[in-house]
Structure formats: structure tokens, C-alpha cells
Amino acid sequence: MVDIEQVKQWAVSRWTLGEMHGVSHWERVERNGLLLVTPECDVTVIRLFAYLHDSCRENDMCDIHHGPRAAKMIVGLRTSLLKDLTDHQFKLLQEACRLHTSTHRTGNPTIDACFDADRLDLGRVNFIPDPEKMATEKGKEMARLL
Ligand SMILES: [Fe+2]
Ligand SMILES: [Fe+2]
């Protein structure tokens, strides 16, 4: 079983930017993700996404390539921190990281839950997510409550 706490500590240990995209954001993304889970979702992938998706940001501004960078970076964790993922889980995690900076919705329940978990935390940068722009039904419901 993948040790999420260990992945979190690893991500925290190499993080050099501030809190805007840092650990408090990652924790909220994990919490949102847990609220968005449906029976079709892979909860391990969603929790890992929370701690890895922004980990390759080079600045807090418009760094649109940090998603694809994270997808590449996690290849280096495949035989260590992420060794217990199945190939399918690893692929989902990679796709969620790679696409979160560019894609609205994929149709895959796990990846879409990752996107919405991240979007639901836009309030931290004074941006209220538009329910119509969420990728999942649960995400839409939760955005309406914000
Ligand atoms: Fe991001
Ligand atoms: Fe994020």
C-alpha cells in the first residue's frame, strides 16, 4: 500500500515556494478529493494527486507547464514512493497531473475528481469556482455551496 504521509513529507521537504500552492493547499485538495469520491473513483490516486500535482511549480504565477512537469517527475518515484501503485493507477495519476493545468474534463471519474478537488480551492486566491465549469456532478454541487 502506498504511504500517502510519506509522499506528503517528501513533497514538503523539497518545496521552496510559499503557501499559495503549498502544503495547506495540498491538504485542502486532499480533503475536497475525499468529499468528491464516488464508487467509480480511485481514492489513492486522488490523495496522491493532492500532494504531487503542484510539486513542480517553479513560481506562484502563470506556470502552465507545471502539470506536465509533475507527470514526468513522478516517473522517478515509480520504483520507490509509488512502487505499490498498479500500472493503471500510476497512469491515472500521471494523466491527472499532466492535464490539470490545461484540461477542463476528461470523462474519467478519478481524473475529473482530481481536477475538481483542486478547483474547489480557488477561493484561496479570491476566485470562486463556477459550478458550470466543474468536471463532476459532485463538484458542481459543492461549488454551488461556496
Ligand atoms: Fe496546479
Ligand atoms: Fe493546485
Count Cβ atoms below 10 Å from residue 13 Cβ, excluding itself.
7
- Ligand 2 centre to CA of 31 (Å) is 13
Ligand whose nearest atom lies closest to the CA of 64: 1
- Ligand 2 centre to CA of 121 (Å) is 8
pLDDT of residue 101: 95
Separation in Å, CA 75 to CA 79, 91, 122:
8, 10, 28
pLDDT of residue 126: 86
The residue written with cell numbers 474534463 in the block is: 105
pLDDT digits (tens, 9 = 90+) for 78-130: 999 999 999 999 999 999 999 999 999 999 999 999 999 999 999 888 889 99
Provide the residue range defining the domain that includes 74.
4-144
Mean pLDDT of 32-47: 98
- Ligand 1 centre to CA of 100 (Å) is 6
- Ligand 1 centre to CA of 115 (Å) is 9
- Ligand 1 centre to CA of 67 (Å) is 6
CATH number for the domain that contains residue 83? 1.10.3210.10
Residues of the chain above pLDDT 90, percent: 93
pLDDT digits (tens, 9 = 90+) for 49-64: 999 999 999 999 989 9
Separation in Å, CA 10 to CA 3, 5, 139:
11, 9, 29
Ligand whose nearest atom lies closest to the CA of 125: 2
Count of the separate structural domains present in the chain: 1
- pTM over the 0.95 mark: yes
- Ligand 2 centre to CA of 25 (Å) is 7
